[in-house]
Structure 1
Amino acid sequence: MSLVAEYEPQDPDDAGDPPVPQLANRSFPALGTMVSISAPLAPDELEAAVQTMRRVFDETESYFGVGGRGSVEGLRRGEIELRYSHHRLRTLYEQAIGWRNATEGAFSPHTPTGPVDLRGLVKGWAIAHAGQAMMDLELPHWSVTAGGDVLCSGSPFPAEPTGSDPFYGRHWRAGITDPFDTDALVADVPLAGTPGFTAALATSSGHGYGRSNAYLQVSVLAEDIVTADVLSKAILAGGPATLDAAVRELGVEVLVCGHDGDLHASPGWPLHPAA
């Protein structure tokens, strides 16, 4: 029996959370997309954190970007041999092989014709290291978004713990866009909420590939962004068998949209209204 059940977004009038308070926000271009950072900080404090994050994404461009010492594009085009590439690129390849094994080949670090292709890991790598940079700065409350993928920690509205419940504070909220209507959401997902707890949400789309993929869109909720990002791609490619294995063995939650527009969610997917 499949681990996914039919999913219906709830009525927005049923929302229990109060509105998210005003946050300090910054955005900048990197890796061919826009990176956005939000945190309940004074604007000048956030600006200092953003400079650290910029360095993370600049280093990612240097390590893995076009023209870098370890260019993923050079590998994909066959212009660079993996054994002569930067050690960080070789480490990334080892991680990709691990994911290929974990997904039984649904995620692959190679193109269909054979060359190494690590583009599917670079963005997640950068977001993960940006999040670690925030932790190193001892900033427990923040959200980082890049190309639609989200990693967050703590709460947009920090609160003191009450009682013995380790989970407290208001959640971050991430919307998942309707693949048939970019002005609408199919889900509004609560993330993190407590200092020391991170949450990640990644969405992959099969638009432009006809019905060669089992699903039109896959969103994965996990504790870390690399897991969420990789598995959203793997489930899109591998279909129901990969989805069931990911939920059962890797502890993630999944929301998929079929080519007919039907939504299906894993049992632990957080039911929350689309605001």
Structure 2
Amino acid sequence: MPTHVFETMGTGASIRFAGDLPPAETLTPVEKCFDGFDEQFSLYRSESEISEIARGALTLPLASERFRDMYAEALHWRILTQDSFSPHRPDRVLDLSGLVKAKAMAAAAAELRAADLHDWMLNVGGDLLIDGNREGSPWHVAVVDPDDRRRLLCTFDLDGSRTSLATSGTTERGEHVWRSRATSTYRQVSVVADDIVTADVLATAILAGGQERLDESVESFGVDVIAVDADGSIVATERMRRAHGFAA
């Protein structure tokens, strides 16, 4: 299947097309979209706007409108998740990385649709966003087993009603998520949602907040979740259990 592969935000990315591969110049705005978010919000770039704020060279009221909007959205998600998702690190540094990749993916999807490109799957670091279908069939996607990255934990279909899959875990990056509940022992959380921002934010929030946050996320947002606990047991929402035969 035709696939455009590129690097962005320190990870691998690809766009798989059900039809022909578009000309490279058509996909350039998509890559530039990711570059723009990275240049503004990466704490690994000393010249980024967020790095200027982190070292005190710029104050939040004087930041760009897009930056202030992103921060406001992150604060809104903090309220919605009972502080399980937060733009503030324990060392008090402002960090929007929990939101930036998903927002960049949503913006890239808008660029693809503006170019009248449909029936594709965007993959950025294992997080997926789809449009349309694959030659009349749903896009078939997978969640990797955290105990063996060569194996799959499960596979399922994404269709037009559910467009996004995001995974947050400790296998590859260690304990990079600030646990808001001492009782949270999840090692990997995958969320299927109607949009990539909701999927990505809630995957992080559930990893940080544990079973309580999982239950509240399912109730409030209607998402589907598969989580792997410290002992290797699988916690799955009802629809996922029915689809994949996981034990309750």
| TM-score band w.r.t. shorter chain | 0.7 to 0.9
Residues 69 and 86 of structure 1 are in contact (CA less than 8 Å); yes or no, is this contact kept in structure 2?
A: no
Equivalent residue, structure 2, for 1:209: 175
Larger RCO (CA within 8 A; separation ≥ 6) = 1
Same amino acid, percent of matched pairs? 35
When normalised by structure 1's length, the TM-score is 0.79
Residues 76 and 111 of structure 1 are in contact (CA less than 8 Å); yes or no, is this contact kept in structure 2?
A: no
2:227 to 252, 256, 267: 256
Sort the Cα spacing of 1:198 and 1:245 in 2 relative to 1 into closer, same or farther, 3 A: closer
What is the letter of the counterpart of residue 271 of structure 1?
A
Q: Is 2:234 the counterpart of 1:234?
A: no
Residues 109 and 117 of structure 1 are in contact (CA less than 8 Å); yes or no, is this contact kept in structure 2?
A: yes
Larger radius of gyration: 1
Sort the Cα spacing of 1:215 and 1:54 in 2 relative to 1 into closer, same or farther, 3 A: same
Offset at residue 203 of structure 1 (A): 0.4
State how 1:181-196 maps to structure 2 within 5 Å: 181-192=148-159, 194=160
Offset at residue 174 of structure 1 (A): 1.6
1:173 to 140, 143, 147: 140
Aligned residue pairs: how many? 235
Q: Is 2:57 the counterpart of 1:93?
A: no
The runs of at least 4 aligned residues of structure 1 exceeding 4 Å deviation read: 76-79
State how 1:113-124 maps to structure 2 within 5 Å: 113-124=91-102
Distance in 1 between residues matched to 2:147 and 2:167, nearest whole Å: 14
Q: Is 2:119 the counterpart of 1:133?
A: no
What is the letter of the counterpart of residue 101 of structure 1?
I
Sort the Cα spacing of 1:246 and 1:86 in 2 relative to 1 into closer, same or farther, 3 A: same
1:225 to 191, 196, 206: 196
Equivalent residue, structure 2, for 1:70: 49
- 1:222-243 Cα offsets, whole Å, 9 max, x none, are 0111100000000000001110
Distance in 1 between residues matched to 2:221 and 2:92, nearest whole Å: 28
- 1:84-126 Cα offsets, whole Å, 9 max, x none, are 2222111100000110000010000101122211111111111
Distance in 2 between residues matched to 1:173 and 1:46, nearest whole Å: 25
Equivalent residue, structure 2, for 1:105: 83
Distance in 1 between residues matched to 2:84 and 2:217, nearest whole Å: 11
Sort the Cα spacing of 1:226 and 1:76 in 2 relative to 1 into closer, same or farther, 3 A: farther
Distance in 2 between residues matched to 1:90 and 1:24, nearest whole Å: 38
Equivalent residue, structure 1, for 2:216: 245
What is the letter of the counterpart of residue 49 of structure 2?
G
2:132 to 140, 154, 159: 154
Structure 1 portions without partners, runs of 5+: 1-22, 158-168
Distance in 1 between residues matched to 2:109 and 2:134, nearest whole Å: 15
Structure 2 portions without partners, runs of 5+: none
Partner of 2:95, secondary structure, is: coil
Superposed CA RMSD in Å reads 2.2
Offset at residue 80 of structure 1 (A): 3.6
Partner of 1:268, secondary structure, is: helix
Distance in 1 between residues matched to 2:92 and 2:114, nearest whole Å: 39
Offset at residue 78 of structure 1 (A): 4.8
Partner of 2:100, secondary structure, is: helix
Residues 153 and 198 of structure 1 are in contact (CA less than 8 Å); yes or no, is this contact kept in structure 2?
A: no
Sort the Cα spacing of 1:120 and 1:74 in 2 relative to 1 into closer, same or farther, 3 A: farther
Partner of 1:271, secondary structure, is: helix
Partner of 1:108, secondary structure, is: coil
Q: Is 2:243 the counterpart of 1:271?
A: yes
- 1:129-172 Cα offsets, whole Å, 9 max, x none, are 11111122222311101011000011121xxxxxxxxxxx3111
Q: Is 2:8 the counterpart of 1:33?
A: no
Sort the Cα spacing of 1:78 and 1:189 in 2 relative to 1 into closer, same or farther, 3 A: farther
